[in-house]
Structure 1
Amino acid sequence: MRLRALVRGGLVALCGAAVVLSGPAAVPASADPTLDDAKKKLAAIEQQQSEIGEQWAEVKLQLAQSKTKVDTLNADIANQQRKVDGMRGQAQQAAISRFQTRGVDITVQLITSPDPDAFLSDMSTMGKVDQNLNSLLQDYQAQQANLADLQRAARDQVTTVAAEERRLASLKNQIEQKIQEGQALVDQLTEQERQRLNAEEEASRDTSRDALADIPVGDDSGSADSRALRAVKYAVSKVRTGQYVWGAEGPNNFDCSGLMLAAYRSVGISLPHSSRAQSGLGRPVSRSELKPGDLLFFYNPIHHVGMYMGNGLFVHARNPRNDLEITKLSSYPAYQGARRVVG
């Protein structure tokens, strides 16, 4: 049986959708109530893994955005600090000048002036200078306040980053616990039951084995965008050797959204590493309008994504037990819709 280690390098992924364990009509359904019950429990566990994995992907995106905000705020703080430092000397000189002139009464200045008429004519000019000094000091104080606001925002954002990192660690632990639950459930089966389980899962892929040789060319693929077709070829090329690893995006390990990201990255198109985030890209297409390269989304809320190939087939990173595979769209549960990101 094709079972992977519980944790591959500490990051086994669970973003894939819940596995549909009952095979097509070609493989008789098991009459063993123990195996049937185990399949239902295993499907539930794997769906929980998938949902937690999607939460992890979303928090990871939020963490990246928060770190970018911290970097931006730090750059703004540095610029603002230079501005404040540059104004500090002018503000200090203005304060000294004001102190000096306020120390002598204007009447005394008039009496002691060698040219009283010139002194009086300069009074209006001195008033304007005083206004400029006031404006300079006020501007300096405003810039200091702006600097303090930026520093406070940066501290708040650092706190947010720390909270998101703790959330990621918690989700990782939850996923690993679900992996252990699923493994323990499979280990409880007899060898015969495990063989039946494996045969049923394998049967859902047998009908599409020929698709590994090339992308099917059907009525729904003739007008597909060339970049979308190349993205499909990339994804299909990873099926035989690629493994499902939580949070991975290539070149050999992938989770569900990571495979989509890597496939489109190979043709110069950027996607977020989250099936839910990817479900908001491009434009929606109906099931009857599907073309190769369209992204297919499953479950509500969405926590699995695959790529349509044509001829009713799609390629996806399914889950740690099944890795990457090509599946009939008609046989996969909880289809929610499709988006076309190019073309």
Structure 2
Amino acid sequence: MAAHRKSRQRSLGGHTVRTAATFALAGAATATAFDGTGHAEPQLTPAQVKAKVDQLYQEAEVATEKYNGAKEKAQQAERRLRTLRDQAARKAQRLNSAREALGSMAAAQYRTGTIDPAVQLALSDDPDQYLDGAAFAERANDRQSATVTRVRNELREIEQLRGAARVELDTLQSRQAELRQYKNTITGKLDTARRLLARLTAEEQARLAADDSTGSDARASRTSAGGPRGGLRATPVSSTTQAPNSRTAAAVAYAYSKIGSPYVWGATGPNAFDCSGLVQAAYRSAGISLPRTTYAQIDAGRRVSRSELLPGDLVFFYSGISHVGLYIGNGQMIHAPNPSSSVRVAPIDQMPFAGATRVV
């Protein structure tokens, strides 16, 4: 019996304990893999990394356009709130003036006292003079009544304005909460994309960057004129001459001048852009105001088919209309792609085409 117990102890102290430790380590490795702190993720090929990063960029761009829309609405709510507060302040000034007038009337009545008009008439040496004074007093009472009515109206209008301001403040705070949510989503996806790219060697990263650039910047005509960073700048040699009017030509020329500028989500220039920010800035330079987001920009003009495209048309991509570029002719566009790529020329068949709009 003792030998049997001793044998069980050896088993527990040997193979069984080692097995338990193995399971514990495996469990820990699994847990860290799920919470993102471990290193158990499979090794991805450069092509797989690129596919994941492209997907993250596209998802971040969807969130960016929602952020842009929420920011625009927050700014509108802020302007409305400021207007309501200004109106309430002006009415409060008028209310204070009316109250001061009422106070002066009340003080005058207190000093002079009040006597029944019939008694005053009976005691008066000059009834005609009294009657003239009574008419004046009646007119004064009418003015007092009007002042009281004005005070009441001012109070009611001020309360209405304050109520509207409270609603606008709630709206503004809701929009600000949306902004924080979208910002967290965007930065989270971009951080994940950066971590994935950091796994690649410098050579692999350069190869992916070259693949992204193929058929884009190299297809643009270049001159030695200083560009956005003092280097070469693509110039609208043929595209602007094909543009249907001077305004679209100006928008295209502006977009060309910004080639090489960095992509920054939420930016509208003059030194950095996101996709819809670049298009908005290009047409703003031509004196045309466009909405801020891709979702609104696609409805800012007349829809045209892909076969009808002319330089200056807005071209949209993905089923959610989350990306936009400025068409420049010959199947090419200028766009702000993503944080890994600067503003550049690219073929419109590089992404799933969703539609096009002609602004002017």
Instruction: Give the structure-2-normalised TM-score.
Output: 0.72
Rg larger for: 2
1:261 aligns with 2:268: no
The separation in 2 between residues aligned to 1:42 and 1:153, in whole angstroms, is 45
- Count of paired positions: 308
The separation in 1 between residues aligned to 2:320 and 2:120, in whole angstroms, is 81
- SS of the residue corresponding to residue 308 of structure 1 reads strand
Structure 1 equivalent of residue 358 of structure 2:
340
1:238 aligns with 2:258: yes
Moved more, 46-55 or 66-75: 66-75
1:327 aligns with 2:346: yes
1:43 aligns with 2:59: no
Shift of 1:300: 3.4
The separation in 1 between residues aligned to 2:61 and 2:188, in whole angstroms, is 13
Aligned residue runs from structure 1 range 1-343, under 5 A:
34-35=45-46, 37-96=48-107, 103-116=114-127, 119=130, 126-127=137-138, 129-189=140-200, 194=205, 197-205=208-216, 208-210=219-221, 213-215=234-236, 217=238, 222=242, 224-239=244-259, 241-333=260-352, 335-342=353-360
The separation in 2 between residues aligned to 1:251 and 1:107, in whole angstroms, is 81
Structure 2, unpaired ranges of 5+ = 1-42, 223-232
Change (3 A) 1:284 1:102: farther
- SS of the residue corresponding to residue 337 of structure 2 reads strand
The separation in 1 between residues aligned to 2:303 and 2:197, in whole angstroms, is 39
Change (3 A) 1:238 1:223: closer
Whether the 8 Å CA contact 2:262–2:272 is kept in 1: the answer is yes
The separation in 2 between residues aligned to 1:287 and 1:101, in whole angstroms, is 87
Shift of 1:298: 2.0
Higher helix proportion (structure 1 or 2): 2
- Identify the structure with bigger relative contact order (alpha carbons < 8 Å, sequence gap 6+): 1
The separation in 2 between residues aligned to 1:203 and 1:68, in whole angstroms, is 45
Structure 1, unpaired ranges of 5+ = 1-31
- SS of the residue corresponding to residue 253 of structure 1 reads coil
The separation in 2 between residues aligned to 1:119 and 1:299, in whole angstroms, is 88
Whether the 8 Å CA contact 1:59–1:164 is kept in 2: the answer is yes
The separation in 2 between residues aligned to 1:85 and 1:127, in whole angstroms, is 24
Whether the 8 Å CA contact 1:296–1:337 is kept in 2: the answer is yes
Shift of 1:175: 1.2
Shift of 1:173: 2.2
Whether the 8 Å CA contact 2:243–2:311 is kept in 1: the answer is no
The alignment-based identity, stated in percent, is 35
The separation in 2 between residues aligned to 1:131 and 1:242, in whole angstroms, is 70
